[in-house]
A and B are shown apart, each in its own frame.
Chain A
Amino acid sequence: MKISILGLEGTAWNLSAAIVDENDVIAETTATYIPASGGIHPREAAQHHANHIADIVRQTLKKGGRNISAVAFSIGPGLGPCLRTVATAARALALSLEVPLIGVNHCIAHIEVGRWKTPAKDPVTLYVSGANSQVLAYRKGRYRVFGETLDIGIGNALDKFARSVGLSHPGGPKVEELARQAKQYVPLPYTVKGMDFSFSGLTTAAQEALKRAALPDVCHSFQETAFAMLTEVTERAVAHTGKNEVLLAGGVGANLRLREMLAIMCEDRGIKFYVPEKRFMGDNGAMIAYLGLLMYKSGYSTPVPDSRVNPGFRPDDAVVTWQ
């Protein structure tokens, strides 16, 4: 029988359910929590997920109509209240369908969906989202973190800055839009420490810079500084590991300037650069279902008593059983 996995994603503001088989996404339904004002409020986001999950799952099962082999869900990292809400739904579903439950690492799901939907085989991955910013590569049974943010994720940094100048959530795309109208660069702190980077000082400095520079110029300078830091560390990881592919993952990967910088770096090093379709970059149920499928095939499952969520689940704490 053909394997098909139902995956549930709800680590932050996007709630999504999907069914995949080995070839493609069979069905996917998404409901996004949009804060009335300010940023993501964890409890409100969890409430949103609780209100919509039954309907989302029903619609997905209706569209995907076939036997489900297992139920996969994001067990971490993410916002605690959101993770718990979605995990509860996943447990209930697995028990009622009488199929195995599979708790997957959210960061690794981003990488695996990229390896599925692009020709990348063994890439250095730059994973950039609201809460996460990491450079990862596979080595000896694990996805190792070669570099990461020492404080906040790049998406959060952009959103925080955007909010402080009155732009609504999510701020990243608005900053990108404004940056196109910039006339000049304003110096901002560039913080790379070995293989790690930091964005909180940059965010504060950008807010300060508005006292002496125009908003588009600061948006442009913020992007140029932050993305150069990310590209530099990615290049270091490539040089260190000797790998010849770079994969971009996560919602901030939609930014065209970031893509351009990575593309230039890869071109200059003579290596390949891969970006999945936009629907697989931000948080999505398909990536959870697909990693669930890989884990299911390797014989892995999460017994319900061990399925407690882990908001600080590091990708390098997950043993890769499927490669």
Chain B
Amino acid sequence: MAIVNMAIGGSPTIFASGAEAMITLDGNTIIKTRVQKRYRLKEIDETLRISRTKAEARLISEARRCGVPTPIIKDVTEFEIKMEYINGTSLKNVINPSLAGQTGELIGRLHTCGIVHGDLTTSNILFKDGKLYLIDFGLAYLDKTVEARGVDIHVLFQTFESTHENHDELIEAFKDGYSRMFGNACEILERVKEIESRGRYA
């Protein structure tokens, strides 16, 4: 999700705007609103926005219970999630092999919990006070298959490769961390290689 910091007077700040939601910041609360899509029928549009908002809030809390730091949910209404604002820096700006290892542990815990994030990038992981937080569960879902977990990791590796020079080192450190937290890590990491060779999800 592209960050477009647009401060408007004293009103909430539009923080980011992606394909389906708008993020605003009000004090120390982040508000994620799923916006209406004019192209689809009202019945379909509302059903989707309500069910996805509910599912996202549930997965954010579920991940937290499994030991993955995520924002605390403050309130959920039909189209809106209000959650804790984590005033950290994006992992993209600070990544090093040690943090890549921590990221591996984080994702290992998430996958052990049965959750696939669906949009893992170094922008969706925040670093604050020595700790990593996972954010934006908009594409997350419950899935325990090797394929889903493999794609999840492959997508993250691609952001390592496209934005960081020492990516091989980062990938190795991630694998170590992931293997520490996830039982059958070998099988998943083998699949990541295979997915890469298919040349998809670029």
Distance in Å: Cβ of A157 to nearest Cβ of chain B: 17
Supposing A190-B44, A193-B141, A236-B19 touch, asked if A316 and B37 sit within 8 A by C-beta, the answer is: no
Chain A residues with Cβ below 8 Å from B39 are: 228, 231, 260-262, 264-265, 268
Q: Is A305 an interface residue (CB 8 A)?
A: no
Q: Which of B162-202 contact A (CB under 8 A)?
A: 198-202
**B139 touches A (CB below 8 Å):** yes
> Are A265 and B41 in touch, CB under 8 angstroms?
no
The reply to whether A316 and B200 form a contact with Cβ atoms under 8 Å apart is: yes
The verdict on B18 contacting chain A, using a C-beta distance below 8 Å, is yes
Question: How far apart sit A260 and B41, CA to CA, in the bound complex (Å)?
Answer: 12
Report yes or no: B202 in contact with A228, Cβ–Cβ below 8 A.
no
B48 within 8 A of A: yes
In the complex, A140→B19 CA distance in Å?
23
Tell yes or no: A317 within 8 A of B by CB.
yes
- Give the number of chain A interface residues (Cβ < 8 Å): 32
Is the CB–CB distance between B202 and A139 below 8 Å? Answer: yes
For the complex, would chain B's binding face be called helix, strand, loop or mixed by DSSP majority?
A: loop
Given contacts A144-B200, A144-B202, A145-B200, whether A190 and B118 have CB atoms under 8 Å apart is: no
* B199 A317 Cβ-Cβ under 8 A: yes
Q: Do A239 and B141 have beta carbons less than 8 Å apart?
A: no
Residue A224 contacts which of B20, B41, B141 (CB distance < 8 angstroms)? Answer: B41
Question: Which residues of A are found within 8 Å of B20, using beta-carbon distances?
Answer: 232, 235-236
Tell yes or no: B129 within 8 A of A by CB. no
Q: Which residues of B contact A235 (CB under 8 A)?
A: 19-20
Q: Which of B30-70 contact A (CB under 8 A)?
A: 37-41, 43-45, 47-48
Bound-complex Cα distance A79 to B154 (A): 32
Nearest chain A CB to B6 CB, angstrom units: 16
Minimum CB–CB distance for A111 against chain B, Å: 16
Which of A139, A144, A239, A265 touches B18 (beta carbons < 8 Å)? A239
Chain B residues near A314 (CB-CB < 8 A): 199
Q: Does A166 count as interface, using CB distance less than 8 angstroms?
A: no
Q: Can you add 13 more A-B contacts, CB < 8 Å, to A144-B199, A260-B39?
A: A146-B202, A194-B151, A224-B44, A228-B39, A228-B44, A228-B45, A231-B40, A238-B19, A239-B1, A239-B18, A240-B19, A242-B2, A264-B39
A-B contact pairs, 26 of them (CB 8 A): A139-B202, A142-B202, A144-B202, A187-B47, A190-B47, A194-B119, A194-B141, A224-B41, A224-B44, A225-B44, A228-B40, A228-B44, A231-B39, A235-B19, A235-B20, A238-B19, A239-B1, A239-B18, A261-B40, A262-B39, A264-B39, A265-B37, A268-B38, A316-B198, A316-B199, A316-B200
Residues of B within 8 A of A (CB): 1-2, 18-20, 37-41, 43-45, 47-48, 118-119, 139, 141, 151, 198-202
